Structure 1
Amino acid sequence: MEPKDENPDSHPGTYVDPLGDPFLRTRFALPTRPATFLRRARLLEHLDREPRTPLVMVNGTAGAGKTLLVADWAAQLRRPVAWLTLDPAIGGPGMFWAHVLQALRAGGVPVPPDTGTVVGGAGSGLSPLGRLAAQLGGTEEPVILVLDDYDHAAPEVSEQLAFVLHHAGPGLRLVLVTRTEPLLPLHRYRAAGEITEVRDAELAFTAEETAALLDLHGVRVTVQAADALVERTRGWAAGVRLSALAARESPDPSLYLKEFEAGHSAVADFLLSEVLNSRAPRIQDLLLRISVLERFCADLANALVGGDDAASLLAALHRDNAFVEDLGHGWYRLHPLFREILRVHLRERCPGLEPELHRRAARWLRRHGALPEMVAHGAAAGDWAATARALVDDLAIGELFTGLRSDDLAGLLADLDPGTDGAAPDLVRAARDLARHDLDRGLTHLRHAHEELPSGADAAAARLSCALLEALAARLSGSPRRAEQAARAAREVRPEVPAHLLDRHPELSAQLLTHLGSTRLWAGHFEAARAALTAVLAGPDAAATVLPRVESLGRLALIEYLDGWPGRAERYARAALSESERFGLHGPVGPDLARLVLAGVAVDRGELGRAQELLDPTPDTTAQDPVATVGRSIVTARLLLARGRSRAAAETAGAPVPAVVTSPWAEGRATLVAAEAHLAEGRPDAAARVLREVADDDPECAVGAARAHVAAGDPSAALRVLDEATAHRRLGPAVRVRAALARAHAAQVEGNQVAARHLLADALQDARRDRLRRPFAEAQPWIEPLLAAPPLRQLAAGWLLPDAEAPARQAEPAPVLVERLSGRERDVLARMAELMSTEEIAADLYVSVNTVKTHVKSVYRKLAVNRRHDAVRRARELGLL
């Protein structure tokens, strides 16, 4: 329709729309910002960052704060802005373009009378649009046109709008405020960098902005309290504002914001009106049913709804910004506050349906191997019997002990109904209790499960699960016989278990071997323990087996440490740390024993500060298995001895450890600490007496006894003990060095200085590779005169004693490591320092030779060297070795 006024700019209100009705001025007015409006500078800066982009899109959910943001931005511009708020009544092409022209006039943009109005429809030409584009393209300053609620526009409008935007050139800057993605060729604008976008993630309020907005409403809270509200609302602007209004009326605003019931609130009214009730009944039913799910895909949603069209419905809801968030790979989740509200209304509209939905979800999740979510829904449905059977029949008991989701699973099973009877529920209860180291309760439930366990192939998975739990109970209680029985039972039943279950759960075999190896270690059967623990490392390298691998590496490290091989112990321990770091294991499921072993090696090297650093973050393992408990006691006691606290050391090492059998090495090391405490306090006879019973079986204790005999003035007895204990045994360097020092001391006491010097030279050469300084500190003061002589001093210079003969040099700045070495590169570097070949390093780390070569090249690059010798030297300068 043509304008009726010859001067359209003088009386804009006289124009009428294509239906002959006067234009409503409110559609062309900038929305008023309320007094409690919070200006957000970061978003305004975003809109101003690219002032020349022809297209601006602010796309977000209902109530995300889109309109007020753009209105605030437009109000600060120093030129006119044409504003149009759309609604369904003006979504068609004819009404749309009539209103656009009126918005331009109201914004002070001259529109000639011959521009005309696009009526729309198949027969409409583009000449009026061409005239409009030409008019806009000829303006000196670009015209800013804001189309609010653009999602109400008809689909064909977008094609016409794209034509005008393209041909207007720099004369038009179009701002679309919308809930949905407009049907414009956005990919072209994005590729050309000609679009400025603000989306939901940026529109979300931060904790600081939330606190500021609450303050504007007279509600003063900490940023931490505001952060909790942001977590619940995901920073959704309407949710924050409505919560602020309600909190203002509450006697305790902070408590209200923390605990308000979203299901019946102004927030709920908004979401139900704007998002749920405006949808078709089919979509409403879908939203209500999927509200029981934390996350969902189309197939899972179909299982709950009983249909087959969830894929298209969910995709449409996401496109419409209907609080359905896309997680990628076909998975979605609901906005948490919307989900909370939907669940309340599900219970009101469909009472009794929720448990059935949880059961359907649990069945689907079980088929698709999502164990924690299956357990969560089974628990929510109260269907404990089916949930326990699923865990046992699917051979999933071991997942309670993988260290990845174990805490989540244990928490879900904490409320397992005590009235649910049967072998499967009792096995699950036993697993839950053993996972939190409640041995007594675990054994009780395990005994009940044994009594109810059926025989036959159908129960093979249950019997294998039972064997796993028996092995764990044996490890926690220090019972080697029970562990061997469990391993034998597992071997017998394993052929009856379906192969696909065994392949799906490699963690079960790895855990069984770890428990068996740890129990053999406790019993002092080191070679048998090595066999079981090494078999774990040879198994599948998967996320599910990472904790058994880390624990096995830690126990192999302890075996090497107890055998006196600190270099080997360190390699295993560092491999455990690296493996743990690779999968992000921390806390009580992390490589605690590996850290303890590294602390013990640090004590032997005289690095007491480093030893304390390693001990400090390691949790007290008293409630866990006895191997870890005694390991911590021994290392702590040796550190206390090194610091001169002999009495505290003896008390720490002698603390009782509950176990079915006594560990020979645990008893021997506690006795050795007590003997060294006696020696430190000048009671060599007492030291020799306490070691008399254990010296025959443990070479290190024999060396301790020899030291005591020498200190008591009986070198002959010392040599006799050493000859008997060390004959025909391959000793580790930590034991060899102490044995050589004991022989050197005996030779000195007998007046044979030549033999003493030779033996001391052997000890220095043997200790230098592993930097074993502690044995020489224990040998004070008799060793000092011998080390003063030039030949021996040269052997000790640089690692045990300061290098007195090195020429004085001007202090140079310490080298700087530009790029940090990874954990695996440090492992390779440590082995390079020990003169291991590339093949030996590969075998030691269980990787290929090519992988080692790649790490070596990376180490050279990061240390700025070209040779192995230079890499080791630079690493020592940087404190990396």
Structure 2
Amino acid sequence: MDGSENVHPRLPRARRSPPEVHGLRRDRLLHLLDELPQARLGLVVAPPGAGKTTLMAQWAATCGTDVAWLRVDRDDGADGRLAARLSEALTDHLVLGGGPATMTQLAIAVERRTEPLVLVLDDLHTVAGTAAEADLERLLLMAPEHIRILLGSRRRPALNFARCELPRTLLVLEDDLAFRGWEVERLFRSVYRTPLSANDAADLARRTAGWAAGLHLFSLSTVGAEPTARRSGVAALGRRSRYARDYLDSEVLADVSRALRRFLARTTVFDRLTVERCDALLSRGTSRRMLTEAARLCPMVTADDAGETFVVHEVLRRHLETQFEDEVGSTQARAWWCRGADVLEATGAPVEAVRARALGGDWTGVRRLLHAGGPDLLAAGARAWADVLPAWSQEDDPWASLVVARRLLDDGRLVAATAAAERTEPRLGDPVGADLCRHVVATAAVWGVTPDLSAGDWPALLRAATRRDPASVARDTRATGSLPVPYRDLVQGLASLLAGDATSGEQALVRCTHEPNGATVPALAARLAIAFVGLLRQDAGASSRTVDQVAADADRSGLPWLARLARGVADAFDARGPARADGEPAGADAAAAVAADCDQRGDRWGALLVRAASAMAGLRDGDLDPAPFERLATRCRELDAGVPEAWMRSLHAIVAGAGDLPDALVDAESAESYARSAAVPGALCLAYAGLAVTRPEQRGELLDLASMSGAATGLGPGPWRWLGPVADLLWGPEPSVPEQPLHAPSLRAPRLPSASASDPSASRPTAPVPGRTGSRPQGPSTPALPGPAPVALRCFGEFRMAVGGQALDLSVVRPRARSVLRMLAVHAGRMVHREQLADALWADVEPSAALHSLQVNLSNLRGLLSAGVGGGRGSTLIVREGDAYGLALPDGSTCDVLDFERALGEARTAAAGPSDGRTAGALRRALEVYAGDLLPEEGPADWAAALRAQYRSQAAEAAASLASLELLRGDPAAAVAAATRSVEIDVCLDGAWRTLIAAYRLLGDLAAGERAQRRYAEVLLDLGVDLRHAPSRAGTTWTAPAASTVGVTGVRRSPPLPPPREQPGPAPGAPTRSSAPRR
């Protein structure tokens, strides 16, 4: 019997109707639930008071679909009771027979309904462990696709979500529901009518962990208080908490025994609770049982997946600390916190130990810890312990004053941070502290005008990338071994993005996000940069959520500058419409408010970046106002940021051309020259697109040049496409991309005037003189294919060329002519502008003489080809279009460079599908083609060295990817061969070494595995890597690199493939010429 025939009183309306809620409307959460129609099953899980019901009710009122609501009660856990309650809740939406229905009858009735329906079940935790959960799972299995079910619970229901019959689940968790700092500011201004400053709102969000009930209770506790009193109340939350006492006791701790509550109160000295820590503190062996019981009974105590580490919610923790101090007295409480600090120091947790010592009033111990581990304890994101420092200490104690200086630096207040550090240094009398003060001053100075970049640390390298030639910075950073890997990847990724190389930039940034601690500065910054690129590409959903999560994580980690920047980016790409219903600004207005806040704090870089994001988002959405980009270019110039200025100038040129402004042509030419001078190939691509708007007679050629330059740079063909409808309006629909990978002219490292080492401003690009005249370079196009004689080109390992089956004897022509032929060969199938040829081969002579020498050598090559092939068929292989030359490839021709690139392209395409065999086959073909370094005959020539290094890197990565695939396919012998090839090509490829070691061990060849392990260790030592952070022999396990999917074995499938070749320029410091026509 299922109990459905039992007679139950009709549900009160309060249980079967969405409640009326008046909380703050948070669009980011409503957008999450908007995905419910695709997922069909939604689950909102969070502790009591987190705002679950408010969110579900707000969404139900605006979703535009019929909604049936049921607030579940403990009594509904009886057998058959839930089905009866659901039949009452669904009465207005389904055709049901008389009396309560069974789950099967409900499913049949739902199937008869043809219109979409949303069923919301709130407070599902009240029937946990009862028959109602099984009944609900049956309903989920039988529900048709047009029914969406949304569940709200304090704990995850015991449903078998792994069953393939169940629909995909949309999860909204505690972290999602937590109020962000800016949402707290809106809440208190718009709902509670008691405004808080941005700083106080951020502090309140951090100290309450964004808990909705805590924010409401705090607002009630400060009703009628003056702003200064509210500010003091926020600050006091870092030490004592009484405002939520009654709520926590009745709603959170009601099922917790006195013994367990006592256990939690005594262990709140730890940020993260482990069995070892708690046993050491309490001198007992029962901690595992108590921690497990706490996680089961208390929804504000959570455990990691392994059940080894437990975290108490910040508000509950402060509440328990206060209760403990009330119970034992302040003297014993301080002694207890010092005892906890002893445990933390013994277990290697100095950051937590500092906080415990500060709570215990042990200032001598605090100074000792700061002296011993100052750099780590004062590092960005590691100073949450400073919340417990009393106000007097920040004035009287120099170490506390140093903490203030570091916090100002984290907030982007460079001038204030410098002043605070300079005041503190003479008071410390401690060399460690003095060094930390000087580090604050030096870091702040890096981001000033004419900075000293000699330190070579990651801020200095990143700052160099903002001044000029970011591609060189990216290459140099990748080669350095002095930076920690996450910071190296961060600088390389951001510098590549600044250069316009989105492919390489995103790959480096993705590596950065894979570090174990995802809340560090490099990981958070990398996630934000990746999301920003996604927003520009109009991937609004996932990217917006990532930006929001970065803002929240940065806020919790004590990184206010990064949190503010993420908030500004989120606002900039928000719906750019009118104000929200609550009167708060939205979109561009909200971003402008964030930028104004940055200005008020003295954060000029934050203001620049937020305004730039807002302007770019506006342009993408159709705002063709050139004024923002003009102002941004001025701000960049004031900050000595030549690279962002190049981007802003190019975007300004596009907008000016779209508006047909009088100086649009001059602006476009100026932008093109500036981008070339600053060595920013991505901005140069956009400048070409801007010229195409202002020069309709050359539109096709200029767009071809922009597209191919974008493809070579890593920005992709059609680099203006991120502008969306504006791009279609200005340049028409997206053109087709040639299937065969072809090369655009090198645009990376233009020639610069020699700069004096003593004059930092000498390296800044200079704007051209307006009003210059002269023809522009014609866009390259594919050379005509003149005649039937096929060409065979070999550039890897050694250079060889055969035409019509006859090998050419290059010894009869001069060395420079051979270099011209090799340069055309490596770009076979594309035109190369004569300026590029002259820059590469005759950089040390006058332009006119260089062009004359080029013509002479081209004439010699034509004579060689004509004589060597016979019949004049070879003379037509070198073709000219305008000012560009190319080596044509008739039908039947072969070129190992193109074959290599084509194989890598096929591998990338295959990797997106299910066939690892196709991917492996394409990678093998690529490695068969790669017979050695590119054009070794050219030696250290700058133009060849850059290409050589890039192909070497691609080949090594391809071999590493093949090794990973072979290991996945169960062939460790083939994996050994591929991994060995990889490390032979590039000895510094970590993934290849690890795959090699793992493959040897799977083969049972322990000696070879040990030998490979030692060689790997020697490589790390040569690079200056601290072996303490390298994998041990016992811990060296193989996992495939970043992948799109995860196999059933837990090993990631589809290893990453090397990116398409970017077209590098000369090596850093090499003199080159502008490829603009000579005048």
TM-score normalized by structure 1? 0.45
Rg comparison, structure with higher value: 1
Higher RCO (C-alpha 8 Å, min separation 6): 2
Which structure has greater helix proportion? Answer: 1
